[in-house]
Amino acid sequence: MQLRTLGALLVLAPLAAAQSYQFSLDGLSTTSIVADLSLPLPGNAIGDYDATTNPTGTRTCTTLFGTCNNTAIPLSATALTEFNISGTPAGGFRGTLDSKAGVLLVGDLSVSVIGRQGASADLTLEVLYSTFRTQQPNSIFPGGVPLPLPLGQGTIDDVLLVQTGPAVPVVLTPSGVAGVFTVAGLVPAELSFQLDLLGQVSAVGPLPFALPLAGTLDLTGANPRFTLSVDQSAQQTVPNPAPGQVIEDLAFPLPTVLPPGGTANLLLDLTPGDLGISNTTDLDWLLFGAPICETASYCTATPNTFSSGAACAATGSTSLTFNTFTLSAQGVPPGHAGRFYMSRNQASLPFGDGTLCLGTPIRRLPVVHADASGLAQYTVDFNDPAQPTALIAPGDTWNFQLVFRDPIGGPLTFNTSNALSASFCP
């Protein structure tokens, strides 16, 4: 072995190979949200009188005396409701775990926050108007004091939380128990939901929402177990969730004031404003991680006498059960010998006339030869105890690279492909 090669192997620092998992919510998870919603609805009210279709209907007027000609009364109204939302969430996220580095990389988070459940709540309309009077019935309504009135129910459903941007790292801190870590980080996301107020269905959002990933990651079992616990309060204002929409001719029975005991039948025309939301969120989520069986190329190949660089790849399944995993490298000088190397760890150091992309300890597979097209292949047998590939277990991530002879390609007479990282499943 050349001195340069030996030196490179001696100084290789082990870099833990990260493992990817799909974390999915368990059916024991719960979501509880108490949300106070406030929606301004400026507009006007007018009696339901119509000379042809409803001649006995209520008339409104702004004058206290004289003929009542059924004049529109300007008013400000606010729809108020408090939702108690609870349900079983569904969904999850993709997590790439490097416990040695103390990092969990979180991406592609998508959660139906209350699952298939929806929530309904009593709706109150708080109305503020100037003094006006009505005929049929005859009454005076003193203004200047907000009047809360029941107005049926509102509903909220399809609450969805989706991560925005690329995967983000969250910090893992040893808890003092081997294999158990506390988790702390924020995942930028957007929240959206369907809101039905006064018969007006609106899609609200997406709204910026920073999801705290606070809890415990337990690696002592067969698969990672992540327990998330969040209890937080927040307030925000959402720009008009129904732009351009108007609530017209909303029937509004208004109890008479002077004298009491009657009902003035009014019609409201209202225009929604900005939605105010104040909420307290309590998340108790349990997620289990299943290994993701995938391969990914990394590192860089250098030119050789046959190609601009040998490219390492794999065919077949990464499932140990199927036992069809085949390593390949295209762009190798035809007829030349080489070996696929394997390691749990990654590196990037000069090696021969190329780059060694594997960290110690490194194991070598049997010799292969490139065919006339420059393709070198090795079919892995996970069940052969004589080969290093027998070490591969479900949930493992291993890295592979071809080291091959290239006698006239450079001063050190051998070169390397780029590298391949593969995660294996049962």
Are residue 39 and residue 106 in the same domain, yes or no?
A: yes
Are residue 361 and residue 375 in the same domain, yes or no?
A: yes
**For residue 18, what pLDDT is reported?**
63
Taking 50 as the threshold, does the pLDDT of residue 57 lie above it?
Answer: yes
Four-residue CA torsion sign, 285, 291, 297, 300 = positive
Token representation of residue 136: 């049929």
Please give the average per-residue pLDDT across 339-354, as a whole number.
95
In a domain, 403, yes or no: yes
Of 291, 313, 331, which residue constitutes the final position of a domain? 291
pLDDT level of residue 10 (50, 70, 90 thresholds):
very low
CA distance 369 to 382: 21
Of 229, 263, 291, which residue constitutes the final position of a domain? 291
Please give the average per-residue pLDDT across 349-370, as a whole number.
95
Please give the average per-residue pLDDT across 197-201, as a whole number.
75
* CATH code of 318's domain: 2.60.40
Window from 9-23, 195-209, 369-383 with minimum mean pLDDT: 9-23
pLDDT level of residue 246 (50, 70, 90 thresholds):
confident
Are residue 298 and residue 287 in the same domain, yes or no?
A: no
- 23: nearest Cα among 125, 103, 111: 111
* Residues 19, 423 contacting (CB under 8 angstroms): yes
Are residue 172 and residue 319 in the same domain, yes or no?
A: no
Are residue 310 and residue 390 in the same domain, yes or no?
A: yes
Instruction: Write out the residue range of the structural domain in which residue 177 sits.
Output: 19-291
In a domain, 419, yes or no: yes
206 preceded by a cis bond (ω within 30 of 0): yes
In a domain, 8, yes or no: no
Are residue 99 and residue 66 in the same domain, yes or no?
A: yes
In a domain, 1, yes or no: no
Percent of the chain with pLDDT over 70: 96
CA distance 364 to 343: 9
Domain count, the chain: 2
Are residue 252 and residue 171 in the same domain, yes or no?
A: yes
**For residue 21, what pLDDT is reported?**
85
In a domain, 392, yes or no: yes
How big is the chain by its Cα radius of gyration, in Å?
Answer: 34
* Residues 95, 105 contacting (CB under 8 angstroms): yes
Are residue 120 and residue 49 in the same domain, yes or no?
A: yes
Of 260, 291, 322, which residue constitutes the final position of a domain? 291
Token representation of residue 59: 């008339």
Please give the average per-residue pLDDT across 258-269, as a whole number.
93
Are residue 100 and residue 41 in the same domain, yes or no?
A: yes
Are residue 103 and residue 249 in the same domain, yes or no?
A: yes
Are residue 163 and residue 111 in the same domain, yes or no?
A: yes
| Helix and strand numbers, DSSP H then E, in the chain | 1, 30
Are residue 279 and residue 320 in the same domain, yes or no?
A: no
**For residue 226, what pLDDT is reported?**
95
In a domain, 10, yes or no: no
Please give the average per-residue pLDDT across 313-334, as a whole number.
91
Work out the mean pLDDT of the chain and round it to a whole number. Answer: 88
Taking 60 as the threshold, does the pLDDT of residue 4 lie above it?
Answer: no
CA distance 131 to 88: 49
Taking 80 as the threshold, does the pLDDT of residue 392 lie above it?
Answer: yes
Torsion, CA 35, CA 84, CA 152, CA 275, rounded to 10: 10
The 8-class DSSP code of residue 425 comes to B
In a domain, 5, yes or no: no
In a domain, 7, yes or no: no
Taking 80 as the threshold, does the pLDDT of residue 14 lie above it?
Answer: no
**For residue 351, what pLDDT is reported?**
95
More confident residue, 331 or 125: 331
Window from 93-97, 161-165, 197-201, 212-216 with minimum mean pLDDT: 197-201
326-330: strand order across its sheet = 311-315, 326-330, 375-379
3-state DSSP assignment of residue 1? coil
**For residue 24, what pLDDT is reported?**
94
